[in-house]
Structure 1
């Protein structure tokens, strides 16, 4: 693939993966709006590896704290904060893994890749994020996360399999609804992304069996998506100290309305 195409994909994936604006929706739109060829599963996996490394790097202290609970969980001990969080984040990943596998095996995931689906998802879930953000009680911290919270947030996260929803956006919406403040809701969403991205990458990697992996292209995509994701994460977490999620909501609504106009006018071949 041309270098500019690889960099463009990396920047889109890296910047939008952790912002509540839907990375998958933007990547689906890219070939339809630009005429560029679809990047394929190899590049998808590479881009997700880059964003995975970025979120682990940024939240390393939290990741390390959670991983400290692994030996205790293996021994059947769940009383420490680390062990409870490890079990909670594992539980939260199950719904999206199960539904994602069902959609992939049934072929329904391809049927959802349309400009009107993305447009409606951008619009509806953007309004929902705004509503939850405005009415959030904002009193709970990540240490208050219960198994019940984790399961419900996992169900929220599963909605992100609808293109245009945004995995981070819908999880933040659920966390705000559960009473977590803006920064804690974002942190929970980012930490939930780690096992989810690993599971998604593993599932996508099944398509690579027997194929060749272009090392140059994958290395470029990993590097650029890592840098873009780390920058976007740092900026968003800093801004949440002073701002609400309203700027992202405005972007989602504007893009959603534009896509619906294009989709229903039939001016593009989606």
Structure 2
């Protein structure tokens, strides 16, 4: 058993679990860590584990929301009852997932090939960081999640599509989109996680064909379990943190990381 590979999996599981949900860009951090450790792409089994682990984390943490959606859909089908979960939230999530889904299916490989390097991620890290700070500072938070419309879901989904560019951050882009639409910080973050679930599911399904060959690799289980545990803790931390302190700390972190990375790779 290669101990160094297991340690590498543990580190990347922690990095993925934290940065997938915090608005600091998981792709940028995984690129950076991989570059420092090996300088090449992630092992297949670890890539599969991280995708599935973060999906499981969000399913577990928001289990009440998923039960509410399922209950709303069942009541709509059997009793013709309308609810926010079945007639607004779920359609908003579905429609909001279309932009990233279409762009990802058509150009995912080209995007990764062109942008997947430490030198490039400097720019989205800094730009989105500054935008998070300015928008959170200037845009009044007048709306809660219950004020969501299907149109809002689509607009936040357009922001999510921008996160296909490494360094942008899916949660950063969608929280930014939610705040631009006037949602309070906690509501913007909560919808960001819910909207991200179909994207995480899609990423996991794309790796499904590789699951069988990954199950014999201990690296898979280390990355999988670590990303679940750390992911759940990260979701809870973010929801509580932004409610009390806002987004400035994440903006500052992104800019500092971008500047540091610029000097490291140049």
Common topology (TM > 0.5) = yes
Which residue matches 1:101?
A: 105
Note if 1:65 corresponds to 2:59.
Answer: no
Q: Does the Cα contact within 8 Å between 1:136 and 1:181 map onto a contact in 2?
A: no
State yes or no: 1:43 paired with 2:64. no
d(CA) in 1 for partners of 2:72, 2:165: 33
Say whether the 8 Å CA contact 1:7–1:221 is kept in structure 2: yes
Q: CA 1:11 to 1:36, structure 2 compared with 1: closer, same or farther past 3 Å? A: farther
Residue 117 (str. 1) matches residue 120 (str. 2): yes
How far, CA to CA, are the matches of 1:227 and 1:165 in structure 2?
Answer: 24
1, 10, 14: which one pairs with 1:11?
14
SS of the residue aligned with 2:143? coil
Mapping of residues 232-247 of structure 1, within 5 Å: 232-247=234-249
- Report the TM-score, using the length of structure 2 for normalisation: 0.90
Aligned pairs for 1:202-217 within 5 A: 202-206=205-209, 208=210, 211=213, 213-217=215-219
CA 1:209–1:227 in 2, change beyond 3 Å: closer, same or farther? closer
- 1:100 and 1:204 map into 2 onto residues whose CA distance is 14
1:42 and 1:205 in contact (8 A); partners too: no
SS at match of 1:240: helix
Q: CA 1:73 to 1:32, structure 2 compared with 1: closer, same or farther past 3 Å?
A: farther
Once residues 42 and 205 of structure 1 are traced to their aligned partners in structure 2, the CA distance between those partners, rounded to angstroms, is 11
TM-score (norm 1): 0.89
**Residues 209 and 65 from structure 1, CA distance in 2 versus in 1: closer, same or farther, beyond 3 angstroms?**
closer
1:79 corresponds to: 82
Contact 2:96 2:195 in 1 (8 A): yes
- Separation in 1 of the partners of 2:23 and 2:172? 4
Partner of 2:224: 222
Paired with 1:222 and 1:35, the residues of 2 have a C-alpha distance of 20
Assess if the C-alpha contact under 8 Å between 1:45 and 1:201 holds in 2: yes
Distance change (3 Å), C-alpha of 1:73 and 1:37: farther
After TM superposition, give the deviation of residue 145 of structure 1 in Å: 1.1
> How far apart, CA to CA, are the structure 2 residues paired with 1:74 and 1:38?
46
1:182 aligns with 2:182: no
Number of residue-to-residue matches in the alignment: 262
Name the stretch that deviates more: 143-152 or 197-206. 197-206
